[in-house]
């Protein structure tokens, strides 16, 4: 089966005590911003609490190219949301991008 390569953006947030934003609201607002970009797929939500999570909230977004990711990162509404909502509430942020692939056979893991 063929494979499709793409750029996966992963961002993890640990909230400051007493500054935890509503996770459903953050997920909805970020998804709305992503809809206006070239994101192929977007997910965001709180940690499920299984095991010992080190972060409280995650964002995973897929883009066809590095240029599409960079356009998303620099999109004005995204920049404003990160700077005005997420960073003030975050004690720590970890973010990275990886080259990922989806196999034509979804059973491949």
- Taking the C-alpha atoms of residue 59 and residue 97, their distance in angstroms, rounded to an integer, is 11
DSSP state of 56: S
What residues does each domain of the chain span?
Answer: 3-102
pTM, entire model: 0.85
User: Rounded to the nearest 5°, which phi and psi values hold at 39?
Assistant: -65, 130
Give the per-residue pLDDT at 53: 72
Report the topology of domain 3-102: Alpha-Beta Plaits (3.30.70)
Helical ranges in the chain per DSSP H: 23-35, 66-74, 76-81, 87-89
Confidence check: pLDDT of 105 > 60: no
- Taking the C-alpha atoms of residue 89 and residue 102, their distance in angstroms, rounded to an integer, is 34
- Taking the C-alpha atoms of residue 99 and residue 80, their distance in angstroms, rounded to an integer, is 26
pLDDT tens column, 1-43: 456 689 999 999 999 999 999 999 999 999 999 998 999 999 9
- Taking the C-alpha atoms of residue 65 and residue 7, their distance in angstroms, rounded to an integer, is 6
Give the per-residue pLDDT at 96: 97
């Amino acid at each position: 089966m063929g494979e499709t390569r793409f750029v996966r953006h992963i961002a993890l947030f640990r909230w400051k005590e007493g500054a935890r934003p509503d996770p459903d609201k953050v997920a909805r607002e970020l998804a709305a911003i992503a809809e206006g970009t070239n994101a192929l797929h977007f997910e965001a939500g709180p940690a499920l609490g299984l095991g010992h999570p080190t972060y409280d909230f995650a964002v995973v977004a897929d883009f066809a190219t590095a240029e599409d990711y960079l356009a998303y990162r620099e999109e004005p509404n995204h920049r404003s949301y990160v700077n005005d909502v997420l960073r003030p509430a975050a004690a720590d942020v970890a973010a990275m991008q990886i080259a990922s692939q989806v196999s034509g056979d979804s059973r491949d893991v």
